[in-house]
Amino acid sequence: MKKLFVIPFLAAGLIFVACNNASNSNSNDSQTTATEETTESTDVESVPGIENVALSNTWTIEGNDQMKFNIDLMRVKAGEPVEVTLKNVGEMPKESMGHNFVVLQPQVDLPTFGGEAAAAKDNDYIPKSSLSSIVAHTKLLGPGEEDKITFTLEKGVYPFICSFPGHYSVMQGKIVAE
């Protein structure tokens, strides 16, 4: 009889613990979201490694057959023209390993943009539906080709990617305009 009397208290205790853990989990989720939002709106001074990058408004970047850019962080002077030359140093054909250089607005969701870009084959993987997200871009390059673009940035942190299908997740970096 005493055992039956204890069961409701055990059940109530388990429910209390479960509810308490769920509310802690939700508060952790909102802390994580706040942290992610803070990270996404990264200011210039908090970009790791930026102090080791020379300030220059003229850059040459290479893309290769291993789906890598040779540079993943650039530092430029805001409000002045930036000149970037992209060279495809790979040997694979443009149809299977083409590269471009796309500078995006801060806060652009890279997976969403990458998905839209993959569907834009007829426009060298530059989605017309997302032109407002793009600051500047080169043309799609095959082996041994190069292209130069010039653009101006306001102070901030701008992501750059190769928008060829599947490349954006590994061929990306940041331009810090200060």
Domain ranges of the chain: 1-40, 44-177
Query: CA-to-CA distance for 117 and 132, rounded, in angstroms?
Result: 13
| Residues ≥6 apart with Cβ < 8 Å to 43 | 157
Domain 44-177 -> CATH class = mainly beta
Closest CA to 100 of 166, 163, 174: 163
| pLDDT at residue number 18 | 45
Taking the C-alpha atoms of residue 161 and residue 138, their distance in angstroms, rounded to an integer, is 11
Q: Is 14 helix (H, G, I), strand (E, B) or coil?
A: helix
**pLDDT tens, per residue, the chain with 178 residues:** 455 554 554 444 444 444 444 444 444 443 333 333 333 345 666 899 999 999 999 999 999 999 999 999 999 999 999 999 999 999 999 999 999 999 999 999 999 999 999 999 999 999 999 999 999 999 999 999 999 999 999 999 999 999 999 999 999 999 999 9
Beta strand 102-104 pairing with 156-161: antiparallel
Q: Which pTM value belongs to this model?
A: 0.75
- If you search the block for the tokens 């890279």, which residue do you land on? 110
CA 83 to chain CA mean position, Å: 21
pLDDT of residue 40: 39
Q: What is the pLDDT of residue 26?
A: 43
The helix/strand/coil state of 65 is: coil
SS3 100: coil
Rounded to whole angstroms, the Cα distance separating 41 from 69 reads 24
Task: Check residue 15 and give its pLDDT.
Answer: 46
Name the strand (E) or helix (H) holding 147.
Answer: strand 146-152
Q: CB of 114 within 8 A of CB of 169?
A: yes
Report the sign of the C-alpha dihedral through residues 44, 164, 83, 69, in that order: positive
- Comparing C-alpha atoms, which of 98, 104, 167, 160 is closest to residue 131? 104
